[in-house]
Structure 1
């Protein structure tokens, strides 16, 4: 059997959870439907899971379930959690720095409460600014790219590519296994893995 998969029986024995818990978490969308993989074996049809992903997810659920409801945990695992935070709260909780917030407000004047996606954009911008890979004017280019292009990915992980050619900056988003090619003499300055930042941000916001 594929070493990357774990059977339902082995999963229950290894984690100590019950059959009922497993399927309740599935109904509550804590465990994605696509992780339940039906395969033919010599004993008939059995259910398997992606080993590393399911073990990490169950460990996370177990660590959270005493302090949070299942609905709250499900929202944490959602691609775009239902959350709005004020600008002052983001600064108070040290989620992002003031230069990133100021730049966001320059591009989106009057914003007071930011959704998860908007916080993600500011968080990604903050990461780029703190790394020194881009300057403030280039930050506006990256931010506008995120605001206009990210909704097309419907919350799925993607990557932000930031590049320069002859001092002129540009950026693009790439999702899945697609390939991205730039003109000759274009230098890719930074690649931001938005899926990784999404998971980091969820931990900070919960």
Structure 2
């Protein structure tokens, strides 16, 4: 699955922003270094970006920059996990995840147990896929195991969760972004989630 790219010139023209703005946002870490992709073209070296990621990020920056400082924006958009904890009871009370998720994946935990942000994130991602009808409960067990075993290895760098199925057999993978990934014939991509986007969404729910 080759990622759709947009050139720097196209991006600046489409969003009506300047070269200076773009690189100021990069210096302030509002846009990850990994999204600036240098590629050879017939005119020489040009900079490209993952289209879906950069367009969404620019929209967010434009929508929030009048209400927040650039440092506050950087914190809100950071893929780093914040130091945050929440009781199991409050997860459902505040409608952050559904009771079905906790009943299945955390039934042995007391209502007063306190979860760190990474565990909250795993429940949130599972709930997202279940609510969309993309994933079954048994698959959810393997999703959570995949996240527990491998998500920490990205150490705050952007990554995507890839959920695939072939002949009824499902599989989960975490992949650095931006990157292209190709599958054998017959593999169906059920969902591709930006973990950075999920972190941002969960931060918004916890505020």
Same fold (TM over 0.5): yes
Other-structure match for 2:114: 112
CA distance in 2, matches of 1:106, 1:55: 40
Cα deviations by residue, 1:128-184 (Å, 9 ceiling, x for unpaired): 44428423x55334322321233345551131346897xxx87442535154799xx
* Structure 1: runs of 5+ lacking an equivalent: none
- Structure 1 pair 64/164, CA: closer, same or farther in 2 (3 Å)? same
**What RMSD over aligned residues (CA atoms) do the two structures have, in Å?**
4.4
Q: How does 1:39-78 map to 2 (within 5 A)?
A: 48-50=47-49, 52=51, 54-78=54-78
The 3-state SS of whatever aligns with 2:96 is coil
1:31 Cα deviation from its structure 2 partner: 2.0
CA distance in 1, matches of 2:40, 2:29: 22
CA distance in 2, matches of 1:120, 1:64: 23
Other-structure match for 2:26: 26
1:63 Cα deviation from its structure 2 partner: 0.7
CA distance in 1, matches of 2:109, 2:184: 28
* Structure 2: runs of 5+ lacking an equivalent: none
CA distance in 2, matches of 1:152, 1:60: 27
Contact 1:160–1:193, Cα closer than 8 Å, also in 2: yes
1:193 Cα deviation from its structure 2 partner: 2.3
- Structure 1 pair 180/128, CA: closer, same or farther in 2 (3 Å)? farther
Contact 1:97–1:126, Cα closer than 8 Å, also in 2: yes
Contact 1:38–1:47, Cα closer than 8 Å, also in 2: yes
- The 10-residue stretch of structure 1 (82-91 or 45-54) with the greater mean CA deviation from structure 2: 45-54
Contact 1:174–1:180, Cα closer than 8 Å, also in 2: no
Contact 2:92–2:99, Cα closer than 8 Å, also in 1: yes
- The 10-residue stretch of structure 1 (92-101 or 152-161) with the greater mean CA deviation from structure 2: 152-161
1:47 Cα deviation from its structure 2 partner: 6.6
Q: How does 1:138-153 map to 2 (within 5 A)?
A: 139-153=140-154
Correspondence 1:134 to 2:136? yes
Compare CA radii of gyration and give the structure with the larger one. 1
CA distance in 2, matches of 1:181, 1:12: 38
Other-structure match for 1:159: 162
The 3-state SS of whatever aligns with 2:8 is strand
1:85 Cα deviation from its structure 2 partner: 4.4
CA distance in 1, matches of 2:185, 2:108: 28
Contact 2:150–2:174, Cα closer than 8 Å, also in 1: no
TM-score, normalised on structure 2? 0.63
The 3-state SS of whatever aligns with 1:120 is helix
